[in-house]
Amino acid sequence: MSHLILQSPNLLPADVERIAAVAGASGVQLIGPTNVRVLDVNTDSLDEVRDFCVQRRIDAACLDELVPFRSCKLLAMDMDSTLINIECIDELADAVGRKAEVSAITEASMRGEIPDFKESLRRRVALLRGAPESALHAVFDTRLALNPGAERLIEVARASGLHTVLVSGGFTYFTERLRRGLGLAEAHANTLEIVDGVLTGRVLGEIVDGQAKADLVAAAAARLGAAPDQIIVVGDGANDLRMMAHATYSVAYRAKPAVRAQARFALDYSPLDAILNWFRLAGVR
């Protein structure tokens, strides 16, 4: 029998009781004030349960079993709008008064409307030409914040022996600082060309696109000997789908509809560390 993990910042007992009844559950186990485990559910009821959860703004994950978190080997995450709260390139565009133009291209790319990410990135970076290098510092210091639950997820992953990787179509200026600050094992992103303290509007080297992200995750998995059911990949845009395909635990975080539809799990309302409740943690039931 399968179990349902229900999570929401405003999880109401009445909603949990309704879901348990619809699912024919054998019982409900409290995990915390914002999450419960509904035991031994009838999987034939899942469509009805999911529809109700969407109405009530509840994240629901169905699992045949809860395996130890330590059995996983790899946690890979996207950066912009996944690990952090912003799209860095959109904020950089403010420095040259072109945020609306850059944001429009970003949104179209994330929805999959511009299938060639490399072309999308080149077009956006070209709009940054002339921005001072100090704009990068300002964005990192004043606009960038970790999304809720990110720090705890990474701390527990590291303590549990998982290899932690940041894989981004963004920029190394940000990923390297996050890698050092969070103690991540690896970070991969694109390098902006800067000459005399000014952005040239060009990217150096090969662009990290969706395929490159997937290749980096596959390479890390191969080095670790990680099977798909030992891999967690978290993303929010169409550019993340290929790397998410390598993981049994593919997680759409505040994602676009196309991404949510293809991921096995989704967090639309709960923080990133809600992922931990899909596993058994040491000392936790």
Q: Give the residue from 135, 134, 127, 129 showing the smallest Cα distance to 95.
A: 135
Residues 2 and 81 in one domain: no
Question: What is the rounded CA–CA span in Å between residue 87 and residue 80?
Answer: 5
Q: Which of 15, 59, 80, 240 is catalytic?
A: 80
Residue 45 lies in a domain: yes
Instruction: Note whether 209 and 165 are same-domain residues.
Output: yes
- Calculate the CA dihedral of residues 262, 263, 268, 270 and round it to 10 degrees: 170
What the block records as the tokens of 56 is 């009530």
Integer Cα distance of 193 and 101 in angstroms: 21
Domain match, 197 and 220 both: yes
Do 233 and 181 reside in the same domain of the chain?
A: yes
Residue 80 annotated as catalytic:
yes
- State the pLDDT at residue 283: 54
The pLDDT of residue 114 is 81
Give the total number of structural domains in the chain.
2
Catalytic, 94? Answer no
Q: What's this model's pTM, rounded to 2 decimal places?
A: 0.94
pLDDT for 284: 47
CATH number at residue 234: 3.40.50.1000
Strand order in the sheet with 231-235: 198-204, 186-195, 163-171, 74-77, 231-235, 249-253, 265-267
For residue 36, the tally of other CB atoms under 10 A from its CB is 24
User: Does a structural domain hold residue 113?
Assistant: no
234 lies in the same domain as 266: yes
**186 within a domain of the structure (yes/no):** yes
Output the pLDDT for position 41. Answer: 95
Domain assignment present for residue 100? The answer is no
Which CATH number fits the domain that encloses residue 40? 3.30.70.260
Task: Report residue 145 CA to chain centroid gap.
Answer: 14
Q: What range defines the domain where residue 247 resides?
A: 69-86+145-285
Please pick, among 59, 78, 209, 273, the residue that the annotation labels catalytic: 78
Strands 231-235 and 249-253, bridge-based pairing: parallel
| Judgement on whether residues 79 and 10 belong to the same structural domain of the protein | no
Residues 217 and 81 in one domain: yes
At 236 the three-state DSSP class reads: coil
**Ranges of the chain whose pLDDT falls below 50:** 284-285
Residues 60 and 73 in one domain: no
